[in-house]
Amino acid sequence: MPSITGVSAVDELRGPDGHGPLDKGRASTGRLGDRIFSGTARGAGVLVIAIVTLIAVFLLSQAIPALAKDKVNFLTSTQWNVDATPLQFGIANLLWVTVLSSAIAMVIAVPLGVGVALFITQYAPRWLSGPAASLVDLLAAVPSIVYGLWGLQVLGTHMEGIQTFLIRLFGWIPVFKDAGIGAASTILTVGLVLSIMVLPIVTALSREVFAQTPTTNMEAALALGATRWEMIRTAVLPFGKPGVISASMLGLGRALGETVAVAVILSALAGSAPWSWSMFNGGETFASKIANNAAEFDSPQKAGAFMAAGLVLFGLTFLVNGIARVVIERRKAFVE
Amino acid sequence: MTAVSVSSDSRLNAEHPGGPALGFGHRSRGRALRNQLARVVMWTAFAIAMMPLVWILWSVVSKGGQMLLDSHWWTNSQRGITNRVVGGGAVHAIQGTLIEALATALMAVPIGVMTAIYLVEYGRGRLARIVSFTVDILTGIPSIVAALFIYAVWVTTFGFQRVGFAVCLALVLLMIPVIVRSTEEMLKLVPNELREAAYALGVPKWKTIAKVVVPTAFSGIITGVLLGLARVMGETAPLLILGPYTKSIATDLFGGLMPTLPTMINQDRTEVLQPAVDRVWGAAMTLILLILLLNIAGRLIAHFGRPKT
């Protein structure tokens, strides 16, 4: 599992002049080979910066002309008529479906992932904890289109009962209102499948931080007479909390951006469908909207509308990943 | 109140019987109960997590396993096969997937490894922090956004056709961060003494990196590459936008159509006729097998080729 902290400079002891022993330039001989090699390495790094900048620039440059021609409010409108003149498109629907499906996924995956991580690090017998971790990681190896296929054709056929039950129990709440869509292709089914896809991410990172709990903290709790659960609650969980938060954020980033599984499962609604809060409805997320309409990119104007949606998705995942990074950086400062 | 002993290993054993319990008061029945409850909850969590894994693998194997036993699956393409006809193979899609993965790796590995070398061996200060930060952003980019970006560059700006190579470009964006992060970890594991020994012998820095540091971390780098490949081979979103499917064998990355396993699944996923449905699940199983093989190979190399220190 690669580090998510993003800090790579090896921490070295600083000399009296404030430089580490192997700081740049000090070990280099200034020969041609050294200059070429370090130049190439730096070039690769700069290339990565250039790529990320270009992504933002290109999406912006294609989205802005379309946004300028947009005759309805981009953020609050539920219409998506990219064929119409004047152009009318808004993301309210996409945003709600994206947020709702990801929220369902997180509500299931975070507690479950933390439980599994605690199981692997604290409860599983030693012979089981290694294989158990690998098995959960295996969930990440299943391609998203297979998740989509399975979600629609296998899991979906079992959703009818759950949906009827939830509607009967909570039907008076708008989110649980019956929307008359086949149970296999609702936002709820998508949320369930997303939770399975996010689970290995949440588990892997939580496992990593739980395993780092200082033994002294755990021993101190046990020496005071804590049961194993009390030890976990007073030593492991407080220590791992920032890690769990950033793990959830990274998982959320994945859930927000998941494309194909959502596109396969969720039934797209006609443009004239009335607004609904329900999780038993169909709809489209940002990602599935773009994927479903790949054939419509023929004119720059239409493509621009989808680029604008892609840009919002980029912004959302950027924000979520940024929060994850800030949380883990602060934890580092706290631990060290 | 009975103590339940579970761990005979070096792990801390919380269930000690009786004894003076200072900070947490005496061990009441409620606390013992909650402790047991927590244990049950954790085991259940693991059992629940295993359910979808077993269920998915079982669905795929039971619906698609039969297809893979037929030797035609591995030698024929889908050329001329309609959804009513049984038969045909996936060799065109397997080939396409492998070719695209290889082309992606050829582009992503040098960039990724060099970036990691920069971050670990050279990078200090602001530029290194920015590079590290952008790698993080790249990690979080959804595959559909990467595909949109390549579409904006390749098709809208340059006016090229949608071809296999464009898919590779999008996949490169997704593979670079995986390789950078795993290579970084591996380079950091190389002990500094090795570098210092080389410097002491007067070996220039670039030769130290190329002849000492990278070879020491080589197996770890390969593992990262294989895991990165496993990730991009299952990606479907860029293929939907940039890589049209065909039923025949096509090996030209610039030739327009390029069949791959994910697009083969996508092509027929709405079919209801049994032969086509079987082929969809067969392709799904083939794809999972390929990815699994890469994962296992990566882990084996990681296991047997640890840096010799």
Enter the tokens of residue B206. Answer: 């670039």
Closest CA to B101 of B305, B258, B256: B258
Residue-level pLDDT at B131: 92
Specify the number of domains making up chain A: 1
Handedness of CA A248, A251, A257, A259 (dihedral sign): negative
- Do B196 and B253 form a contact (C-beta atoms < 8 A)? no
Q: Higher model confidence: residue B222 or residue A88?
A: B222
Taking each helix axis from N to C end, the angle separating B164-189 and B91-117, rounded to the nearest 10 degrees, works out to 40
- Best mutation target among B144, B174, B291 (most A Cβ atoms within 10 Å) is B144
Instruction: Report the alpha-carbon distance of residue A284 to residue A96 in Å, rounded.
Output: 9
In Å, how far is A33's CA from the nearest CA of chain B?
A: 7
Q: Given an 8 Å threshold on Cβ–Cβ distance, is B152 in contact with A260?
A: no
Considering chain A, what percentage of its residues have pLDDT values greater than 90? 35
What does residue B2 show for φ and ψ, rounded to 5 degrees? -115, 150
Measured from the Cβ of residue B134, the count of other Cβ atoms closer than 10 Å reads 23
The pLDDT score that the predictor gives to residue B7 is 40
Of the candidate ranges A7-21, B44-58, B254-268, the one whose mean pLDDT is the lowest: A7-21
Which chain A positions have a beta carbon within 8 Å of B137's beta carbon? 52, 318, 321
Are residues B122 and A24, on separate chains, in Cβ contact within 8 Å? yes
Tell me, yes or no, whether A11 lies in a domain. Answer: no
- A30-68 per-position pLDDT tens digit: 678 888 888 899 999 999 999 999 999 988 988 888 888
∠ CA B219-B224-B227, nearest 5°, is: 125
CA distance B145 to B158: 18
C-alpha to C-alpha distance for B236 and B261, rounded to whole angstroms: 9
Residues 265-284 of A with CB under 8 A from B: none
In this predicted structure, what is the pLDDT of residue A334? 58
Contact flag B236-A260 (C-beta cutoff 8 Å): yes
CA-CA distances (angstroms) from residue A93 to A53, A78, A286, A309, B243? Answer: 29, 5, 9, 11, 28
Nearest CA distance, A178 vs chain B (angstrom)? 25
Q: Among the listed ranges A62-71, A202-211, B115-124, B176-185, which one has the minimum average pLDDT value?
A: A62-71
Nearest to B214 by CA among B183, B169, B238: B183
Q: Which of residues 166-185 of A touch B (CB under 8 A)?
A: none
Please answer whether residues A74 and A57 qualify as being in contact, where contact means their C-beta atoms are separated by less than 8 angstroms: no
pLDDT of residue B15: 47
Cβ within 8 Å, pair B49-A203: yes
How close does chain B come to A63, measured CA to CA in Å?
10
- Residue-number span of the structural domain to which A294 is assigned: 88-335
| Torsion sign across C-alpha atoms B121, B127, B131, B133 | positive
Q: How far is B90 from chain A (nearest CA, A)?
A: 16
pLDDT, position A184: 81
Report the percent of chain B where pLDDT is more than 90: 39
In a domain, A281, yes or no: yes
Q: In chain A, where does DSSP find H-type helix? A: 32-69, 92-118, 126-138, 144-150, 159-170, 187-211, 215-223, 228-231, 237-257, 260-265, 286-292, 300-335
Contact B145 A314 (CB under 8 A): yes
- Residues from chain B contacting residue A37 (CB–CB below 8 Å): 205-206, 209-210
Q: Locate tokens 């706290």: which residue?
A: A334
Residue-wise pLDDT for A298-333, tens only, equals 777 788 888 888 999 999 998 888 888 888 777 766
- Taking residue A150's Cβ as centre, other Cβ atoms within 10 Å add up to 26
Q: What is the pLDDT of residue A3?
A: 39
A60 touches chain B (CB under 8 A): no
Tell me what the pLDDT averaged over chain A comes to.
Answer: 83
Quickly list DSSP for A250-300: HHHHHHHH--HHHHHHSPPPPTTPPP---TTS----HHHHHHHTGGGTTSH
A41 or A80: which carries more pLDDT confidence? A41
Q: List the single residue in B with minimal CA-CA distance to A35.
A: B206
**CB-facing half-sphere around the CA of A213: CA atoms within 13 A:** 28
Once rounded to an integer, what is the mean pLDDT over residues B48-53?
94
- Answer yes or no: is A258 within a domain: yes
ipTM: 0.83
Residue B26's pLDDT is 61
Q: Which residues contact A185 (CB under 8 A, 6 or more apart)?
A: A152, A156, A265, A266, A267, A282
Q: Write out the DSSP string of A96-108.
A: HHHHHHHHHHHHH
Residues of A with CB below 8 A from B271's CB? none
The model's pLDDT over A181-232, given as tens digits with 9 standing for 90+, comes to: 777 888 999 999 999 999 999 999 899 889 988 999 999 999 998 999 999 9
Identity of the residue numbered A42: R
Tokens at B70, concatenated: 């037929």
For residue B135, pLDDT beyond 70: yes
pLDDT at A1: 34
Residue B175 with chain A: CB contacts under 8 Å: none
Please enumerate in sequence order all residues whose Cβ is within 8 A of that of B103, keeping only pairs 6 or more positions apart, or say none.
B164, B165, B168, B253
A88-122 burial: b if 16+ Cβ within 10 Å, else e: bbbbbbbbbbbebbbbbbbebbbebbbbbbbbbbb
Would you say residue A161 lies in a domain?
yes
Considering only CB atoms, B120 lies closest to which of A8, A226, A297, namely: A8
Phi, psi of B70 (to 5 degrees): -80, 125
> Out of B22, B41, B119, whose CB is closest to A45?
B119
The CA distance from B187 to B276, in Å, is 47
pLDDT of residue A9: 42
Residues in chain A within 8 Å Cβ distance of B223: none
Handedness of CA B141, A156, A153, A141 (dihedral sign): positive
- pLDDT at position B155 over 70: yes
The residue-averaged pLDDT of B215-240 equals: 88
Tokens of B114: 């060099």
In whole angstroms, what separates CA B142 from the centre of its chain? 15
In chain B, residues with a C-beta closer than 8 Å to the C-beta of A317 are 140-142, 145
Residue in this structure with the two tokens 């496993």, named with its chain if needed: B230
- Chain B residues in contact with A132 (beta carbon < 8 A): 46
Of B133, B142, B206, nearest to A6 by CB-CB distance is B133
Share of chain B residues as helix, strand and coil, in percent rounded to the nearest 5: 70, 0, 30
How far, in Å, CA of B134 to CA of B112, rounded?
13
Dmax over CA atoms of chain B, in Å, equals 80
Q: Where does residue A289 rank: exposed (0-12), middle (13-18), buried (19+ CB within 10 A)?
A: buried
Instruction: Select from A12, A52, A145 the Cβ nearest to the Cβ of B134.
Output: A52
Q: How far apart are CA B28 and CA B31, in angstroms?
A: 5
**Chain A residues near residue B131 by CB distance under 8 angstroms:** 45-46, 48-49
Residue B6: pLDDT band (50, 70, 90) is very low
Tell me the C-alpha distance between B272 and A137, whole Å.
32
A154 lies in some domain = yes
The pTM score is 0.85
Residue A54, domain member (yes or no): no
> Which CB contacts under 8 angstroms, 24+ apart, belong to A170-176?
A174/A276, A174/A277, A174/A278, A175/A100, A175/A277, A175/A278, A175/A279, A176/A278, A176/A279, A176/A280
* Cα distances (Å, whole numbers) of residue A310 to A52, A100, A248, B65: 14, 18, 22, 37
The CATH number for A185's domain is 1.10.3720.10
Q: Are A201 and A250 in contact (CB under 8 A)?
A: yes
Contact B122 A145 (CB under 8 A): no
Q: Which residues, other chains included, contact A270 with Cβ-Cβ below 8 Å and sequence gap of 6+?
A: none
Residue in chain A closest to B209 (alpha carbons) equals: A37
Flag if A145 and B234 touch (Cβ within 8 Å): yes
Restricting to A residues 299-318, those with a Cβ less than 8 Å away from any Cβ of B are: 300, 303, 306-307, 310, 313-314, 317-318
Query: For A233, which DSSP code?
Result: I
pLDDT at A25 over 70: no
What pLDDT, on a 0 to 100 scale, did the predictor assign at position A29? 60
- Say which amino acid occupies B100: E
Rounded to a whole number, what is the distance in Å from the CA of B75 to chain A's nearest CA? 23
Pick the closest to residue A208 from A250, A247, A254 (CA basis).
Answer: A247
pLDDT of amino acid A176: 82
In angstroms, the separation between the Cα of residue B298 and the nearest Cα of chain A is: 12
Residue A10 lies in a domain: no
CA–CA separation, B69 vs B288, rounded Å? 15
Chain A, residues 81-100, CB within 8 A of chain B, namely: none
Q: Which residues is A80 bridged to in the sheet?
A: A89
Domain presence at residue A29: no
Q: Does A319 touch chain B (CB under 8 A)?
A: no
Band the pLDDT of B287: cuts 50, 70, 90: very high
